[in-house]
Amino acid sequence: MADISEANIGLGPFLRARRAELTRDQVGLPPAAGIRRVSGLRREEVAELAGISADYYARLEQGRLSSISEYTLAAVCEALRLNADQETYVRTLARKPAIPMSNGDMTVDASTRNLLAHLSDVPVLVLGPYLDILGWNTLASALFLDFAQVPREHRNLVWLAFLDAQVRAMYLDWESVGRRCVAYLRMDAARNPNSPRLAELVGELSARDRDFHLWWTSQTVAHHNTSGRKRYRHPVAGEFTLDSQIYQRAETHETTLVFLVPTPNAQSRHAFSALARIAASLPESAAPLGDYQTRT
């Protein structure tokens, strides 16, 4: 099992990465005299902008504070010019966590299984913590692969995008997809940074894919709760574009439904006709599942 520390989740690494990206000019400070030995802002410069002592900020970056006030946290976020997603990430880490993820095995509930069984017009995925794929419909199997034949520990959207050659080749804008997957995973990880499942996943991806390792260590974060558009090249259906619509279960924040909707054009209609034929020919094992369990 990978060391949890390899996941590199914490306020310190994130704050240092953001500090290194900023210049004095970007935050309204005058040019510094002499040669600077560090890239970005110094700790004392961030402390000055946030209105706190340099020692206090240093202890914050080093993880030596047991708690931090909302006022101070907001001041640090403003000093580092964090966007909304970055600020959410920082606040989630700081509350350690206010909304814990499940400690046991997760399954797809009966109502979601029923939904998957009756949705046949568009591909649908059910995602759990860390973008683990908990369920799917047959059209999703026709689009990507027969998920039932994938080992459970590899039924993960990020793992497949980086390490499965068939899935990776489908994305025409693979770099954009890969970067977003990493950003989504890091945001999700903030809610349970000490998870063995997370350490296992990040450890394997970092060891096997240089791009993942580079983007993961860049500390980029983003919410996986908005729509997006991706271009695909399917070996049978050809090239087409899908819009993803994301719906999160509000009561748990742990289960997300992803609907992949074709853009309204002849190319997409033709592609979906081909996918429907593939779905109709899939074995029973590719039917919607609800028995997948994931360790969190």
Q: List pLDDT tens digits, range 40-50.
A: 899 999 999 99
Q: pLDDT by residue (tens digit) across 178-226?
A: 999 999 999 999 988 888 999 999 999 999 999 999 999 999 999 876 6
In DSSP notation, the chain reads: ---GGGG--SHHHHHHHHHHH--TGGGTPPPPSS--SSSS--HHHHHHHHTS-HHHHHHHHTT--S---HHHHHHHHHHTT--HHHHHHHHHHHHS-SSPPPSS-----HHHHHHHHH--SS-EEEE-GGGBEEEE-HHHHHHS--GGGS-GGG-BHHHHHHH-HHHHHHBTTHHHHHHHHHHHHHHHHTTSTT-HHHHHHHHHHHHH-HHHHHHHHTT----S-S-EEEEEEETTTEEEEEEEEEEE-TTTS--EEEEEEE-SSHHHHHHHHHHHHHHHHS-GGGS---------
Q: Is pLDDT of 1 > 80?
A: no
- To the question of pTM greater than 0.85 for the whole model, the response is yes
Domains in the chain, please, with CATH? 4-95 (1.10.260.40), 110-286 (3.30.450.180)
